[in-house]
Structure formats: structure tokens, C-alpha cells
Amino acid sequence: MILVWLAGAVGIGALVIVAAGYAASIPLTRRRIPDPPDHPSRYGMGCEDVTFASRDGGQLGGWWIPAGELPRGTVILCPGQNGSMDKDVPQAVPLHRAGFNVLMFDFRAHGCSSGRLVTMGVLEVGDLGGALDYVISERGIERMGVLGFSMGAGVALMAAAQDDRIAALVVDGAFPRLAGILTGWGRLRGLPDVLARGLAWLTLLGGSLRVRRRLYRANPIDTAHRVTAPALFIHGEQDPFVSTEEVQSLAARLSGPTELWRVPGAGHREVFKHHPDDYNRRVIAWFEQYL
């Protein structure tokens, strides 16, 4: 009888743990609320509203911002996982002024794109693949650069591991493992390290059930050795989610040329805010060199 009760208690405990992980995953995977609206026209950039398909058929929306008659190259911007592409418009301006075509777009379940679930990079790699397909089929351009922010940085790295049409990368706020990002989120909320790590894995398991994909496999470091495109890493040394050592380890895995720009006093994706002129100079120089 005692064994029956014990087995029942263990079963109930397991269900509670699974339910907790599932509940924690809802904010991680649900459709995002867009950022305050912005538009390239506010910065004197002409653009065209575009739509194209992700690799799994979902409809994605974005802006094509042409450079002019003699572009120096084409750069795709990959936003982070909060809000929409609107907040990244200011970072398209210097690229456009330097003579690059720019394609901006929203990942699935963001902004003007379809979908109700965010998969933190697992399916978003196919969204970037759809953007690459669009640029080739509709614009006749076969080599592109990618500028990715946070989740978009992870997506850019994972996509570059399987698609050599990405000729140059700039990744701002890149991370090696998704579990590490979630652990950092827990620490920021005052959880001890052990509990933060446990909640991170519960959230990933719950999210995997919710989206029916293995979210815990969205780890750029696992495929980094296959990335041959030159990559500039931008990292704020006060990033609460990713340590400098983790970014160094990730960059060291790549097969192509890499450079790491470490900025003291800047947090996650804060380098542009603190040093916009230096940021723009470095990004443009990188794409000029390799595109």
C-alpha cells in the first residue's frame, strides 16, 4: 500500500513539474506585441513593402530598402524575439547611406508576419532561409550579409552553418545555448543559480511540448564549426544573459574569420546605444570588406 501511495505521489509530482514548465513556456512562445511603429520613410529611405514565404510556408512581411543604381552589397537584418522589426529601423540607416540594399523582415509570430508561436530559432532559421530565397528570386542577388540581433544573431549563425549564400555575418548579442539565456533571465529575477537552471530546462521542455519542436536544440554552438562566413561578434561585457567567456568560446568554434568587439559597461544589445558612431563604422567596414 505504501508503495502505491509513493508511486502516486511521484506521478503527481512529475505532472506538477511538467505543468509548471508548460506554464512558464507560454510567455516564451506566444505571439509578440509589436514595438511602437516606425518606418524607413521617416529617415529619408525609400522602401517597398514585401511578403515572402518561410521554408515551411508561413507568410512573412518586411521592407526592401534599395540602395540605388550601384549597390555595394545587400544586408538582411534579423530582429530579436521581442516586438517587431520597427525598433531596428535606425540601424538600417547607416547601411543604406553607405550604399547597401537592406531587407528587413519580421520573424514568425512577430509584427506583420503570420504565425502564433515563437520557436526561439528552431523554425526561424527557415524564416531567414525564406528571406534569402526572396532576395535571390526577386532581386537577382546571390550573396548577402546578415546583421542579427539577439535571437536573430543565433538564427543567423545557425542558418550560416547550412547556407553558403550568407557571405558575411555581424552578430550582436549572440548566445551559444538557449538554456543559458533563460538561466540568465531567472538570475535577473533573483533566483539562485540552481533554481534558475532548473526553471530554464523546465521552460524549454514545456515549450517543446507547446510548439512540438525541440527548443533545447536551438543552440548556435552545436553547428558553429560549419560556419565559414566571416563573422563580427558584438558583445556588451555587462550582458546579464551571456558572459564574455561564452561569446569567446562560440566565436572560437567558427571555421571562418572572426572578430570579437567587447564593450565594457554595455548590456545585452546596448552597444549601439552607447557607441553608435563606432558601431556603425565597424559594421559597415565589415560588410565592405567581405561583401
Q: What is the DSSP letter of 147?
A: E
Shared domain check, 50 and 133: yes
Helix (H, G, I), strand (E, B) or coil at 290: helix
High-pLDDT (> 90) share of the chain, %? 88
Cell of 105: 523582415
- Residue 14: pLDDT above 50? no
Return the pLDDT at 23: 84
Return the pLDDT at 188: 87
Q: Which of 159, 189, 218 is the last residue of a domain?
A: 218
Return the pLDDT at 70: 85
Distance CA 171, CA 254 (A): 13
Shared domain check, 245 and 162: yes
Shared domain check, 225 and 189: no
Return the pLDDT at 253: 98
Neighbour-count burial for 69-89, b at 16+ CB within 10 Å, e otherwise: eebbbbbbbbbbbebbbbbbb
The residue written with cell numbers 534599395 in the block is: 66
**Angle formed at CA 105 by CA 99 and CA 110, multiple of 5 degrees:** 155
- What does the pLDDT look like over 86-103, one tens digit per residue? 999 999 999 999 999 999
Q: Which of 164, 195, 218 is the last residue of a domain?
A: 218
Name the pLDDT band for 104 (thresholds 50, 70, 90): very high
Return the pLDDT at 265: 96
Strands, DSSP E only, in 89-243? 100-105, 144-149, 166-172, 231-236
- CATH number of the domain encompassing residue 83: 3.40.50.1820
Give Dmax over CA atoms of the chain in angstroms: 82
- Whole domain around residue 281: which residue ranges? 35-177+219-290
Name the pLDDT band for 69 (thresholds 50, 70, 90): confident
Return the pLDDT at 19: 59
Name the pLDDT band for 110 (thresholds 50, 70, 90): very high
Return the pLDDT at 41: 97
Shared domain check, 134 and 5: no
Shared domain check, 73 and 59: yes
Beta partners for residue 75, in sequence order: 102, 145
Shared domain check, 192 and 52: no
Instruction: Report the domain count for the chain.
Output: 2
Shared domain check, 140 and 87: yes
* H helix and E strand count, the chain: 10, 8
Distance CA 50, CA 14 (A): 47
pLDDT, the chain, mean:
92
Shared domain check, 17 and 45: no
The residue written with cell numbers 528552431 in the block is: 122
Name the pLDDT band for 36 (thresholds 50, 70, 90): very high
Shared domain check, 144 and 2: no
- Residue 114: pLDDT above 70? yes
- What does the pLDDT look like over 71-90, one tens digit per residue? 999 999 999 998 999 999 99
Cα distances from 60 to residues 47, 144, 148, 164, 217, in angstroms, run 16, 19, 17, 22, 23
Name the pLDDT band for 6 (thresholds 50, 70, 90): very low
Half-sphere exposure of residue 186, counting CA atoms within 13 Å on the CB side?
21
8 A C-beta contact, residue 175 and residue 253: no
H helices of 104-177, where? Answer: 124-139, 151-160
- What does the pLDDT look like over 203-221, one tens digit per residue? 999 999 999 999 988 999 9
Name the pLDDT band for 12 (thresholds 50, 70, 90): very low
- Between 70 and 288, the higher pLDDT residue: 288
- Residue 8: pLDDT above 60? no
Shared domain check, 212 and 232: no
Cell of 103: 531587407
Shared domain check, 282 and 192: no
Shared domain check, 233 and 92: yes
Return the pLDDT at 2: 58
Return the pLDDT at 20: 63
Return the pLDDT at 68: 82
Name the pLDDT band for 16 (thresholds 50, 70, 90): very low
